[in-house]
Structure 1
Amino acid sequence: MSSKMSKLDNWATNKIKTEYKDDVQLLIGHNSYRLPGDAELAQISFFFPATDKAYALAKTFIIDGIGYDLFPMSWERIERMTELDEDNAPCVGEAEILYYRTEEDKERFLELQKRLKDHLSDSQFVLKKALEKVNVAMELYQTMMFEDELFKVRKAAGHILNYLLNAVAYTNGKYFRTGYMNAKQDLLEMKDIPENLLRLQEDIIKAGATGEIKQLCHELISSTRRYFAGKKGEPEKRWVDQNYTDLAHWYQELSYAWREVYHWCDRDEPVLAFMRGCFLQSELDIVTDEFGLEELDLLGSFNFSDLAAYRKQAEILEKKIISVIEKKGVSIESYDTVKDFLSANQ
């Protein structure tokens, strides 16, 4: 616990000790998101309630123009922060325990701090989390393209920036310790960031027209995706232990989708061949990610007027999947006749 607690910090800890001793597990302090001049005034931030009574401790107030929010935190939410699913890592990594009910309560929080540190040093863990953030940014961009009002486009651009900047920070084994306030300096100190990241960030903020903002966000997302594409080739530990029996089961189920693609190609039905190919492409993308396979491009070969190359590519990809499974020593459960199936499954 801090030896330099402010009057407000002491007020909160004393209130817990006298009124909520058995009701509050932890009182946590951090001022990572405070302006520089306000940071030393108080650390109190959130507490973990043990009983319903503890919720009465929650309080929002203003002192000399400075707003404070002492709020209840759930273990589920702090876990999400620790796992980088919610972008508030400073609430874990920069936090200080101001009060703890038991040693067990204290150790539980300290373990989360250790886990966050371990996660940030695990290159494959942070890469996975970073790619999730990039996907969210792309979803926001898609929604932004249908907005016409400047304030809505700017709001979406701000969220896109936040997700992408956090993605880059995580990949560097970092998080923004003071949130947005020192992000530029933090990025400059990172060993590896996307090309033109800082310039595009500034250009987006400077832009005054919706079309310009949308175009710049597209450039930023494209640049960030190229940055991460260069990192996907690194070996991922989860692929080493992957159960290729699961891939065989996936193929046995999805083999019918290939049959459908072949069927519609042979009958020169481009719309139906395309629609079923879209489903198959989505499934191929999933197993590509799950099993660390090379890119499996089906739809790039589609030609509405000539389905021959498309059908051939479907065949090539099916053979690749079969080869991957068999090279791992896994058998595909396939039979020539119903009689053969019944004989083997008495």
Structure 2
Amino acid sequence: MNVFEVADILVNHVKNVYSEDIAIIAYYGSYAQGTATKRSDLDFFFIPATTKGYQASIQFIINDISFDFWPISWERAERMASFQETQTTIIADCKLLYVRSDEDSERFMKLRDTISSMQNAEQAQTMIEKAESELRNVYEHLYKLSHASEFESITFYRTEAYGVLTKVFQSLALLNGTYYTRGFGKNREQILQLPLKPDGLESLMKTIMHTDVNTDMLQACEKLVADTFELVLAQKEKYFSSPAYADRMKGYYEEIKGVLDKIITACEMNDYDTAFFSTIHAQDEIARFLFFAETGHWPSSLMFNSTYQDIYKRLGFPELVALLYPHDLSQLQLAVVRLSSLLETHLQTKGVEINRFANIEQFEAFLKEISAQA
């Protein structure tokens, strides 16, 4: 069977029934890349132009070969092109079979321009952040693996390990500013040729994919994730910028003071619940903002808080969280008062202007001055 005869039939069907409702028809995969076998199907997709266009979707089997004529919205195609979704290759490497208009063709080609621009050196930092975001999705699988019974089935372990592998691989592709042109299982060579990858990647892959010992699989998954995370952080640090407090911390003290005052009130009223939540939130947030002011990056959500709290501690700011004593909040109260003063002074020495007014008249005069300058 010539699969392209099937393509011709579908395109003619669209022209007859959906001529104004489908913008693009294309194929991708093995036939587009010249790697098809006798059992390969023709991987179609189409981009609907109207709601009616979605009705053209159909799945069928001819001569024991399966076909899937499925829709991708313009919005999803844009997410693929900007590396917000996987399968960027579908947009980048497909072959067009039908285009409704010049405008549709131009819009589609802009998607490919987006893919090219995302791979430029100027977008390296953005791609690293996407790699970090993708890596976060690994931890649901690690959690299940680490909490599973040692007697859990090999099917369970391999299924969760598959989730770890595919997400780590996708994170590595993003870290390298690229995408996979072939599906998992056929892209080993491309994965192993990535310039940025954990040491021992091939060995870890082999253990995860070949072992039938649950503990070995878990340990290999944990090692792969940890090494990939360290690699992402190392690349991210290359884009740390110089400290810039005046811009990055403008208005911050005025905001966080409200939280610190809430803690003081909670201490005075012996309200431990409020003190507990507000104290932990305040110290962690101050530490995060200080890290941002120093580096130009927010600390990674995968980073241990002890890492980004180093700046907070180096400045000699009090450890509020350690002073959460349920039956005595007096030490915490004194520490919060001290922190408020130290933080304000530190920000001012770094060039941060604090909008502090002794009375309403001063505030009103400040607003008039701003109005006069506008």
Query: How far is the alpha carbon of 1:63 from its aligned partner?
Result: 3.0
Structure 2 residue corresponding to 1:280, chosen from 268, 282, 299: 282
Aligned position for 2:69: 70
C-alpha deviations, 1:122-153, integer Å up to 9, x for none? 21111111010111212442354444443334
2:208 is the alignment partner of 1:204 = yes
Q: Secondary structure at the match of 1:332?
A: coil
Query: How far is the alpha carbon of 1:113 from its aligned partner?
Result: 1.0
Structure 2 residue corresponding to 1:334, chosen from 345, 356, 360: 356
Aligned position for 2:256: 254
C-alpha deviations, 1:255-291, integer Å up to 9, x for none? 3334566788999999876643432355357644593
> How many angstroms apart in 2 are the aligned matches of 1:125 and 1:325?
32
> How many angstroms apart in 1 are the aligned matches of 2:340 and 2:166?
37
- Whether the 8 Å contact between 2:23 and 2:46 is mirrored in structure 1 is yes
> How many angstroms apart in 1 are the aligned matches of 2:199 and 2:272?
40
Aligned position for 1:10: 8
Deviates more, 1:224-233 or 1:207-216: 207-216
Query: How far is the alpha carbon of 1:60 from its aligned partner?
Result: 0.6
Q: Cα–Cα, structure 1 residues 153 and 249, in superposed 2: closer, same or farther, change >3 Å?
A: farther
Aligned position for 2:89: 90
Structure 2 residue corresponding to 1:292, chosen from 297, 301, 304: 297
Question: What is the aligned-residue RMSD (CA, Å)?
Answer: 4.2
Structure 1 residue corresponding to 2:228, chosen from 214, 224, 230: 224
- Whether the 8 Å contact between 1:247 and 1:325 is mirrored in structure 2 is no
Q: Cα–Cα, structure 1 residues 17 and 243, in superposed 2: closer, same or farther, change >3 Å?
A: farther
Alignment identity in percent? 22
2:28 is the alignment partner of 1:30 = yes
Q: Cα–Cα, structure 1 residues 303 and 286, in superposed 2: closer, same or farther, change >3 Å?
A: closer
Q: Cα–Cα, structure 1 residues 137 and 15, in superposed 2: closer, same or farther, change >3 Å?
A: same
Report the TM-score when normalising by structure 1. 0.78
Query: How far is the alpha carbon of 1:185 from its aligned partner?
Result: 0.8
2:117 is the alignment partner of 1:118 = yes
> How many angstroms apart in 1 are the aligned matches of 2:59 and 2:179?
27
Q: Cα–Cα, structure 1 residues 213 and 37, in superposed 2: closer, same or farther, change >3 Å?
A: same
Query: How far is the alpha carbon of 1:27 from its aligned partner?
Result: 0.3
Query: How far is the alpha carbon of 1:102 from its aligned partner?
Result: 0.5
- Whether the 8 Å contact between 1:32 and 1:177 is mirrored in structure 2 is no
> How many angstroms apart in 1 are the aligned matches of 2:157 and 2:181?
27
Q: Secondary structure at the match of 2:84?
A: coil
2:157 is the alignment partner of 1:178 = no
> How many angstroms apart in 1 are the aligned matches of 2:159 and 2:271?
43
Q: Which amino acid aligns with 1:190?
A: L
Aligned position for 1:233: 237
> How many angstroms apart in 2 are the aligned matches of 1:38 and 1:32?
8
Number of residues paired by the alignment? 339
- Whether the 8 Å contact between 1:157 and 1:204 is mirrored in structure 2 is yes
- Whether the 8 Å contact between 2:263 and 2:336 is mirrored in structure 1 is no
Q: Cα–Cα, structure 1 residues 156 and 289, in superposed 2: closer, same or farther, change >3 Å?
A: farther
